[in-house]
Amino acid sequence: MLQQTPVARVLPVWLEWMARWPAPKALAAEPPGEAVRHWGRLGYPRRALRLHACAKAIVAEHDGQVPSDHATLLALPGIGEYTAAAVASFAYGGRHAVLDTNVRRVFARAVRAEEYPPTATSAAERRLAEALLPELGAARWGVAVMELGALVCTARSPRCADCPIAGACAWRLAGKPPHAGPARKGQSYAGTDRQCRGRLLAVLRSAHGPVPKAALDAVWDEPIQRERALDGLITDGLAEHLDDGTYRLPHA
């Protein structure tokens, strides 16, 4: 839930999920559409489907217990390097480098004297993060660097005067050279297929059963874009088109 989504938006949804599905077995027993429904407006709803698939795999392959081994976690549906490292480290105390956006920015500035990290995580970043991991307390270290990036070494207004490592920060000592790569642009949303998909999915989430096509047509005026977005939801497994022409969240 926290991938690409702020804590303030995640927290109420996470609390609802924990109350409803306190263990993988509880989530796995529900249709995948319920995971999509209760994902709400967090964005990137395919993550809800992956989380449901992950819960089913944990029940089927690991007796309902979330694995502690990093490699085993990576083999689960929807689990990538970041999530596997985070679970193995924060839940089980393993020694793994957890590289989120905040951590990558701290390392870029403090070690490489760069304002921002590359767009995609590089092998060099992973090697650096692993080299910096302490032998003991790696999980606490990971949380500390995350918090440093989230609260102090922020993307737009870093609070260097409050930073505990300001005296050793390569970027600050170099005079804070500006980012040399392509301009960093925020993602547009209004009028995009993503917004259209969100409107259509909101109709399906609010209905506890199939909905007629007219109910979906009513929330987006541009028919070509609307049909493209609806086809995309079906292809991604986020919606189902029934034989009677109605639509619903996935049941299987």
Q: Convert the pLDDT of each residue in 93-130 to its tens digit.
A: 999 999 999 999 999 999 999 999 999 999 999 999 99
- In this prediction the pTM is 0.88
Summarised one tens digit per residue, pLDDT across range 12-55 is: 999 999 999 999 999 999 999 999 999 998 989 999 999 999 99
- Residue for token pair 């998909």: 197
**What are the respective helix, strand and coil percentages of the chain, to the nearest 5?**
55, 0, 45
Q: Cα(204)–Cα(234) distance, rounded to whole angstroms?
A: 12
pLDDT tens, position by position, 145-170: 999 999 999 999 999 999 999 999 99
Q: Which pLDDT score is estimated for 185?
A: 67
pLDDT value of position 134: 96
In terms of C-beta distances under 8 Å and separation of at least 24 residues, what long-range contacts does 9-18 make, across chains too?
9/41, 9/42, 10/42, 13/38, 13/39, 13/40, 13/42
Please give the Cα distance from 174 to 171 (Å, whole number): 5
d(CA 55, CA 65) in angstroms, rounded, equals 9
